[in-house]
Amino acid sequence: MVTYHELDPARIEELISKHDAVIVDIWAEWCHPCKLLGTELRKIGKKLGNKLAIIKINADEASESTDLDSVHFYSKYKKIRAIPVLFFFKDGKLVDQNLYGFIDGCNPDEDDLGIGNGGLLGCFDADVIMNVLKRCGMA
């Protein structure tokens, strides 16, 4: 797995175009679900090796940037109002995305936020994310 930490929109576009399969991870240091997701992304990275690039964007650093393009770059795909968010790119094109940690195929109960039992945090499981990658032809 190749991991980049970027804020520059032009560099992000370049990296998305350069790699066959890319996950863009919007996260923040204070966000516990973001940290859980980061752990799962590292597991996926170990499985897929250099077949996958992950671009990690710290939402706090992006919002503090004086470059307004950097802050609003992601609105071209989907407005971000909460994190974590993942964008899945195949051959430079957006093929899937999730907002607030919800991934297609993971349907948490409103009252259940537990890990591994279908709750919201269970959506951050490496197997669930791998299924998205496979469905999109990225793994």
Q: Which of 34, 106, 123, 136 is the catalytic position?
A: 34
- Confidence grade of residue 58 (pLDDT, cut at 50, 70, 90): confident
**Contact call for residues 122 and 128 (beta carbons, < 8 A):** yes
Give residue 104's pLDDT.
47
Query: What would the mean pLDDT of 23-29 be, rounded to a whole number?
Result: 88
| 31 is known as an active-site residue | yes
Residues 6 or more apart whose CB falls under 8 angstroms from that of 64 comprise: none
Mean pLDDT estimate for the chain = 74
| 123 is known as an active-site residue | no
Closest CA to 139 of 21, 38, 1: 21
Domains of the chain: residue spans and CATH: 2-135 (3.40.30.10)
Query: What would the mean pLDDT of 34-46 be, rounded to a whole number?
Result: 89
pTM of the model: 0.76
Query: What would the mean pLDDT of 102-116 be, rounded to a whole number?
Result: 43
H or E segment at 12?
A: helix 9-18
| Residue 112 pLDDT greater than 50, yes or no | no
